[in-house]
Structure 1
Amino acid sequence: MTDRLTDPAAAPPRLILASASPRRRELLARLGLQPDNVIAADIDETPIPSEVPRAYAKRMAREKALAVDGGDCHVLAGDTVVAVGRRILPKAEDKQTAKACLELLSGRRHKVLSAIALKAPDGTLRERISETVVRFKALSHEEIAHYLALGEWEGKAGGYAIQGSAEGLIAWISGSHSGVVGLPLFEARALLKSAGFPLG
């Protein structure tokens, strides 16, 4: 029996991206992949009481992958969590929440945990997670007000998007820049390559 992973005549696997995030799609394109379909997973994203950020991020990625019926396709899902200690910061849906997040993050380190899960057509799950430490400069009231006025915070975990003007307020990061954006490319490439996607 010929192994599909080593058979050059075999059709490459197909992929569904379980996220409506244009950022994840753009990052996936950097690996040379375009999903065959995009289906946003609809799940309850409420943390379990006492759930730590790392476990929460992994659970969310896993549940998103499992929530999408991929048929004969692989399903790639991800979740990005901004955490201060054991505290999981919310996705900012209003300006007041974003302001509170930025005031908390000002001048201090925080972690960004970006988990991914890849579900094979047979239901097998592969999982990875990246952990990045980020530190904002000490933010003045004027800098926070200016950032809030831009609207880049809308729907973003921790109230900011590193791929926007917030990057000019970040003193340093240690880890995966793409993971902070929303899809850790090193981990994603490893998962996809192990599943037979042609990534060189």
Structure 2
Amino acid sequence: MNSPTTIILGSQSPQRRSLLQTLLSEDRIEVVPPLQSQEAGFDGLTHIDAIRERLQQIVATKNADVLQQCEFQQCNLQEWGVVLTADTVVVANDADSSFVLGKPDGPDWQATVQNWFTNFYSSKSHQVLTAVSFRFQDGTSETLLASTTVHFREVCPKLLDWYIRTEEPLGKAGGYGIQSGGSLFVESIEGSLSNVIGLPLEEVWSVLDAHQFMGLPE
């Protein structure tokens, strides 16, 4: 019997969809974003272990949301096979604590980005975490967590002013996009580049391959 070949991607992120298309052809991906906009945040969490746990809870909740949509719409999970949801956060460090830098927005977003780059990024390192939740057609589930360390060079004020004027930081985790203008500030990374963009491809490939999703459909 052939394995189900189509994956439901529970994400509105164009970067995440584009990354998944590196592994699978476009016709094998169906996008069904979560409906619930409210999700648990990271306020008050100052330890990396607590942040990791919360991130995994968030992707599990998103996965349940998408699965419920499919059940309500009577989607054919025998054909679709797996629901995949993911979330990416940037974690900065200050003294002995860790904390999540969210997505800058609101009327003061420029000042927020300026503060992050000046105080938490310039000549420092931070972590980018992505949690991925899988729910398979047979009812089994799996969650993975990938971490990449990003090293920033000393931030040039003139370059930062230019970057803020591009408005690229808006809506991006941590206020920068490493796949575009944000790369100008990066000195080096340790770990997966695709993880920083939004989906750790090697780890995702391994999980899907273990469940026989990476073979070409017959």
Instruction: Pick the TM interval, shorter chain.
Output: 0.7 to 0.9
| Counterpart amino acid of residue 30 in structure 2 | N
Larger mean CA deviation between 90-99 and 158-167 belongs to 90-99
Aligned residues of 2:3 and 2:213 also touching (Cα < 8 A): no
Give the share of equivalent positions with the same residue, in percent.
30
Per the alignment, residue 97 of structure 1 pairs with 112
In 2, Cα distance between equivalents of 1:13 and 1:102? 42
Tell me the SS of whatever aligns to 1:27.
helix
Cα RMSD over matched residues?
Answer: 1.9
TM-score (ref. length: structure 2)? 0.81
Larger mean CA deviation between 38-47 and 105-114 belongs to 38-47
Tell me the SS of whatever aligns to 2:173.
coil
How many pairs align?
Answer: 192
The match for 1:44 among 39, 42, 58 is 39
In 1, Cα distance between equivalents of 2:51 and 2:25? 29
Aligned residues of 1:61 and 1:115 also touching (Cα < 8 A): yes
The match for 2:10 among 18, 21, 24 is 18
Report matched runs for 1:157-168 at 5 Å: 157-168=173-184
Q: CA deviation at 1:11?
A: 5.0
In 1, Cα distance between equivalents of 2:139 and 2:43? 25
Cα deviation per residue 1:105-141 (whole Å; 9 max; x = unaligned)? 1110000011111111344211111111001111122
Q: CA deviation at 1:60?
A: 1.8
Q: CA deviation at 1:175?
A: 0.3
Tell me the SS of whatever aligns to 1:197.
coil
Q: CA deviation at 1:67?
A: 1.4
Cα deviation per residue 1:140-190 (whole Å; 9 max; x = unaligned)? 221211111112111111100100111121000000000000000011111
| Counterpart amino acid of residue 54 in structure 1 | R
The match for 1:141 among 143, 147, 157 is 157
Tell me the SS of whatever aligns to 1:161.
coil
Aligned residues of 1:112 and 1:131 also touching (Cα < 8 A): yes
Segments of 5+ residues of structure 2 without an aligned counterpart are: 72-76
Aligned residues of 1:12 and 1:198 also touching (Cα < 8 A): no
Report matched runs for 1:15-94 at 5 Å: 15-34=7-26, 35-41=28-34, 42=36, 43-47=38-42, 49-50=44-45, 52-69=50-67, 70-71=70-71, 72=77, 73=80, 74-85=82-93, 86-93=98-105, 94=109
TM-score (ref. length: structure 1)? 0.87
In 2, Cα distance between equivalents of 1:135 and 1:199? 36
Tell me the SS of whatever aligns to 1:68.
helix
Tell me the SS of whatever aligns to 1:158.
helix
Matched, 1:127 2:127: no
Larger mean CA deviation between 172-181 and 159-168 belongs to 159-168
Q: CA deviation at 1:38?
A: 0.9
Q: CA deviation at 1:48?
A: 6.0
In 2, Cα distance between equivalents of 1:153 and 1:198? 34
Aligned residues of 1:127 and 1:191 also touching (Cα < 8 A): no
| Counterpart amino acid of residue 61 in structure 1 | V
